[in-house]
Structure 1
Amino acid sequence: MVDAMAEDLKQNLYGNTHSINPSSMLTEQKVDAVRERVVRYFNTTLSEYSVIFTSGATAALHLLSETFPWSNSSRFTYLEQSHNSVLGIRELCLHHGGDFCALRESEVNVEHPESSQCNACGHTDKSTPTYMAAAAAAAATQTTTEGQQDQPLPYNLFAFPAQDNFAGIKYNLSWIDHIQKARDMCGKRGDWRVLLDAAAFVPSSRLDLGKYTPDFVTLSFYKMFGFPTGLGCLLVHKRSIDILRKLYWGGGSVVVAMTQEPITVFKGNPCAKYEDGTLNFLSILGLNPGFDSLEEIGIDRITHHVWALTLWTYEQLRVLRHRNGQPVVRVYGKHDLGDPRVQGGVISFNVLTPEGTYIGYHHVQKLAARYRFHVRSGCQCNPGACFDYLGLSYEQVSMFFLNKDSCGDEKDVVNGGTLPLGAIRISFGSLTTFEDVQAWVAFLEAFFVDSGEMAAWGLEEGRKRQGVQNPWAAKPFFVEHTGAAVA
């Protein structure tokens, strides 16, 4: 990919698209071609979805949160296993006087959405100036028909990940259609729109937007290809593009802006309207080699490869035992079902001592990094999934996490090793090999399995005392892949 991009830059001159000079026109033409390629890859068209480029999946979520038509009657409902960047949307809903609800997977009733029971709900303080201003604005939008007020249904948003990034659980995409058709969810009437966070899903799974048509889709191309970084997009379905409300604007997103009057005319093209400033056009053009690579391999082959790696590694970890018969790891997820439709290419787990206490994830990761393994630790920016799998209560989270610097810092176990505050995550992509995962399993066996030859599990000094050589020093092993990228 890098070589292909470098060759393209040698052959062509590209410039800011906000002009009609030759380099700018070439850039605009090629950027538009990339937009078309994005939707084609997901089995849809530009007549169905607008492709709005952003600096990543988080920026796409941020853009949606600021442009969604919240009101003081709106509700933001999300799956509890959502990424932090999805959870952040609730602040905008609350700012406008709305409320929010968090659902567990078992609480989503797609046949009867109105019966879905929220695990946790919250709302803004309705005595605040922000809420009262939002209420006044909502009242001002009411229309009068034959002498009676007719308040339109408020816009509500339901968000969930196609695959969560903590345990790799895949969620039922049929939720999309059911929620969109509902007028009542969790006892809240309104015009329900659906946001699909596809960032962790699309690197190794097929997303068919011809079959499933969420109103909004967010993703990161870095997670798909590994290059370029700092680029993602917000896909907006045609039925929802006109409900968005743009406030801040800049760069080439407007046709004209008056300086002495609050008059602004936005560009008619939705992509141009929501892409403020100069596009990261060189990175956008760098997506072509990435799609070339994925299409050459085939997403279905990648899915099968990733699942084979995941299942093999899970089986190896599951049978690891200390000499007293106690398990060496505790795995979180649905791997035991053996079904790639519900379990993605992620294994989150913790390492256990022979006594059943936890070895801190931070210690495991530091030792792994010393031997050039690339893994992730902590809560992986997914507090809902993390706290649920670890069995952490609200009181425990309040007690232990308020003193942490990040979700992956060295404060990794409490209560004498009986309560972990995070986990180790390994994830697999198109470039992960069996050599990688075999080396990882061998690493865990050498350092953390009490076989009677070494009692100081997890300590390099204990291993050295046994005269064991380091077989991993020659090359790095990537067991934390998302697509082609090491995340």
Structure 2
Amino acid sequence: MSSLGLEIREQFPILHQEVNGHPLVYLDSGASSQKPRAVIEAIKRYYENDHANVHRGVHTLGSRATDAYEEARDKVAAFLNAKFREEIIFTRGTTTALNLVASSYARSVCREGDEIVLTPMEHHSNLIPWQQVAKATGATLKYIPLQPDGTITLQDAENAITDKTKIVSMTYVSNVLGVMNPIQEVAAIAHRHGAKMVVDGAQSTPHVKVDVQQLDCDFYAFSGHKMCGPTGIGALYGKKELLERMEPIEFGGEMIDRVDLYESTFKDPPERFEGGTPIIAGAVGLGAAIDFLTEIGMDRIHAHDAYLAKIAYEQLSQIDGLTIYGPRDNRTGIVTFNMKDIHAHDVATVIDQEGVAIRAGHHCCQPLMRWLNVNATARASFYLYNTEDDVAKLAAALRNAEQFFDNIG
């Protein structure tokens, strides 16, 4: 049993409403989490008291805004246990961060005959950028195969990664299966072959304690909005020596060192990758979210989310005609399923009438949907503010939906 959801639920204003005449049961945090008052108030205070552009004005508000922005970078570095604060680049989110690695680093090191190793469970944001790198450089995409339960084995990783491999890119936690991949072990395999390890941390960062030095990944990307922060902000961690060798892919103000009429030079990381006015309020909000999560404790959050997923798996397994995807254990806060031959969108629409919000569709994982031999799935994703009662309401709503479809069938 976990009491975390009951303890902190009051801190999330949006959860205290009715949807279609029922108390809201929000089970779509894998798409975007809700925000606590601490984050909302931090953004409000910034705009009411400190807003100005950063790294430019010498006036008081400019100094306050710059301090707040750079303090947020320090918080991200500490949260990920980065070795240097300069290893943190603020981006619009995971997608932008992964595209930065693909466009700046990978295109500069990949050549015809080189290999980029992925898995079939990758989100499109960690698949399409590598497809584009392959097209531009002549590199080849390879895939570590999935086991029947959606996991990967280290032996298959050993077989896929060779001396031709330049990049291994993998999600830490699958946004469909909820499975946690063995990033540290795969990174060790990649490094033995001279390859770099890129991690999609969109689904892991909100739920587990992340230590990029322990993982020994070369790049790590995540989004703030999935971890109680605002939308439009995220970060890329990159090892300092790699970032220093990379060229910027966006050009403009503040990322430059010297500009002449015919050539320019660029600042050191992270500034060279943050051209233009950055997402200042977003960084402030992300810093507040990190404070909020750190005070609770990531180990406690992980245990809570895993517990809710476990009891959800158990309760949903008892519903006739429901197929649950992914392993029974080794999952973090996600349970994905289908009901008989009913389309996932129809299931989600029916239970929304009882105030239960889940995700339905291909979850930006079309290759994985084809591996599962389905067009779409329904997904319930749990977070720190969810409770056992939310799981019970999900199960009850799905049983009612089953009866509804049986009656109209």
Judge same fold: TM > 0.5, yes or no.
Answer: yes
- Report the CA distance shift for 1:435/1:276 in structure 2 as closer, same or farther (over 3 A): same
Residue in structure 2 matching 1:64, options 94, 98, 101: 101
In structure 1, what is the equivalent of residue 121 of structure 2? Answer: 81
After TM superposition, give the deviation of residue 360 of structure 1 in Å: 1.2
Residue 368 (structure 1) aligned with residue 371 (structure 2): no
Query: SS where residue 391 of structure 2 aligns?
Result: helix
After TM superposition, give the deviation of residue 160 of structure 1 in Å: 0.4
Residue in structure 1 matching 2:406, options 446, 449, 457: 457
- Give the aligned residue type for 1:433: T
| 1:357-398 deviation line (CA, Å, top 9, x unaligned) | x111121122123333211111101123322223xxxxxxxx
- Report the CA distance shift for 1:317/1:114 in structure 2 as closer, same or farther (over 3 A): closer
In structure 2, what is the equivalent of residue 232 of structure 1? Answer: 234
Residue in structure 2 matching 1:383, options 356, 363, 366: 366
Residue 421 (structure 1) aligned with residue 370 (structure 2): no
| 1:97-152 deviation line (CA, Å, top 9, x unaligned) | 2222122245977579663389xxxxxxxxxxxxxxxxxxxxxxxxxxxxxxxxxx
Residue 159 (structure 1) aligned with residue 169 (structure 2): yes
In structure 1, what is the equivalent of residue 215 of structure 2? Answer: 212
Residue 331 (structure 1) aligned with residue 328 (structure 2): no
In structure 1, what is the equivalent of residue 266 of structure 2? Answer: 266
- Give the aligned residue type for 1:200: Q
- Report the CA distance shift for 1:177/1:423 in structure 2 as closer, same or farther (over 3 A): closer
In structure 1, what is the equivalent of residue 302 of structure 2? Answer: 303
- Give the superposed CA RMSD: 2.5
| 1:250-295 deviation line (CA, Å, top 9, x unaligned) | 2211122223x2x111012x01101121101111111232122112
In structure 2, what is the equivalent of residue 411 of structure 1? Answer: none
Query: SS where residue 213 of structure 2 aligns?
Result: coil
- Give the aligned residue type for 1:195: V
In structure 1, what is the Cα distance between the partners aligned to 2:110 and 2:101?
A: 15
In structure 2, what is the Cα distance between the partners aligned to 1:156 and 1:438?
A: 47
- Report the CA distance shift for 1:108/1:242 in structure 2 as closer, same or farther (over 3 A): farther
In structure 1, what is the Cα distance between the partners aligned to 2:51 and 2:139?
A: 48
After TM superposition, give the deviation of residue 193 of structure 1 in Å: 0.6
Kindly report which structure 2 residues correspond to 1:185-196, keeping only aligned pairs within 5 A, or say none: 191-196=194-199
In structure 2, what is the equivalent of residue 407 of structure 1? Answer: none
In structure 1, what is the Cα distance between the partners aligned to 2:164 and 2:315?
A: 51
Residue in structure 2 matching 1:94, options 135, 150, 156: 135
In structure 2, what is the Cα distance between the partners aligned to 1:349 and 1:156?
A: 35
Bigger radius of gyration among the two? 1
In structure 2, what is the Cα distance between the partners aligned to 1:86 and 1:14?
A: 34
**Does the 8 A contact of 2:222 with 2:236 survive in 1?**
yes
Residue 116 (structure 1) aligned with residue 166 (structure 2): no
In structure 1, what is the equivalent of residue 144 of structure 2? Answer: 103
- Report the CA distance shift for 1:111/1:378 in structure 2 as closer, same or farther (over 3 A): closer
Structure 2 stretches lacking a partner, 5+ long: 1-38
**Does the 8 A contact of 2:176 with 2:363 survive in 1?**
yes
| 1:306-339 deviation line (CA, Å, top 9, x unaligned) | 112111111111112xxxxxx320000101xx3x
- Report the CA distance shift for 1:13/1:345 in structure 2 as closer, same or farther (over 3 A): closer
Please, what TM-score do these two structures have when normalized by structure 2? 0.82
In structure 2, what is the Cα distance between the partners aligned to 1:215 and 1:196?
A: 8
In structure 2, what is the equivalent of residue 37 of structure 1? Answer: 75
Query: SS where residue 359 of structure 1 aligns?
Result: coil
- Report the CA distance shift for 1:117/1:57 in structure 2 as closer, same or farther (over 3 A): closer
Please, what TM-score do these two structures have when normalized by structure 1? 0.70
In structure 2, what is the equivalent of residue 414 of structure 1? Answer: none
In structure 1, what is the equivalent of residue 257 of structure 2? Answer: 255
* Structure 1, 14-23 or 275-284: larger mean CA deviation: 14-23
After TM superposition, give the deviation of residue 305 of structure 1 in Å: 1.2
Query: SS where residue 62 of structure 1 aligns?
Result: helix
Residue 198 (structure 1) aligned with residue 238 (structure 2): no
Number of equivalent positions: 364
Residue in structure 2 matching 1:347, options 316, 335, 354: 335
The structure richer in helix per residue is 2
**Does the 8 A contact of 1:71 with 1:155 survive in 2?**
no
In structure 1, what is the Cα distance between the partners aligned to 2:161 and 2:291?
A: 44
In structure 2, what is the Cα distance between the partners aligned to 1:4 and 1:100?
A: 43
After TM superposition, give the deviation of residue 161 of structure 1 in Å: 0.6
**Does the 8 A contact of 1:447 with 1:458 survive in 2?**
no
**Does the 8 A contact of 1:215 with 1:239 survive in 2?**
no
In structure 2, what is the Cα distance between the partners aligned to 1:437 and 1:71?
A: 46
**Does the 8 A contact of 1:316 with 1:441 survive in 2?**
yes
- Give the aligned residue type for 1:233: A
**Does the 8 A contact of 2:347 with 2:401 survive in 1?**
no
Query: SS where residue 223 of structure 1 aligns?
Result: coil
**Does the 8 A contact of 2:121 with 2:365 survive in 1?**
yes
Residue 15 (structure 1) aligned with residue 53 (structure 2): yes
Residue 283 (structure 1) aligned with residue 282 (structure 2): yes
Query: SS where residue 237 of structure 2 aligns?
Result: strand
Q: Pick 1 or 2: higher relative contact order, CA cutoff 8 A, min separation 6.
A: 2
In structure 2, what is the equivalent of residue 316 of structure 1? Answer: 315
Structure 1 stretches lacking a partner, 5+ long: 119-152, 184-190, 321-326, 353-357, 391-419, 463-487
Residue in structure 2 matching 1:173, options 157, 171, 183: 183
In structure 1, what is the Cα distance between the partners aligned to 2:157 and 2:208?
A: 27
* Structure 1, 15-24 or 362-371: larger mean CA deviation: 15-24
In structure 2, what is the Cα distance between the partners aligned to 1:362 and 1:108?
A: 29
After TM superposition, give the deviation of residue 8 of structure 1 in Å: 4.1
In structure 1, what is the equivalent of residue 395 of structure 2? Answer: 441
After TM superposition, give the deviation of residue 59 of structure 1 in Å: 0.9
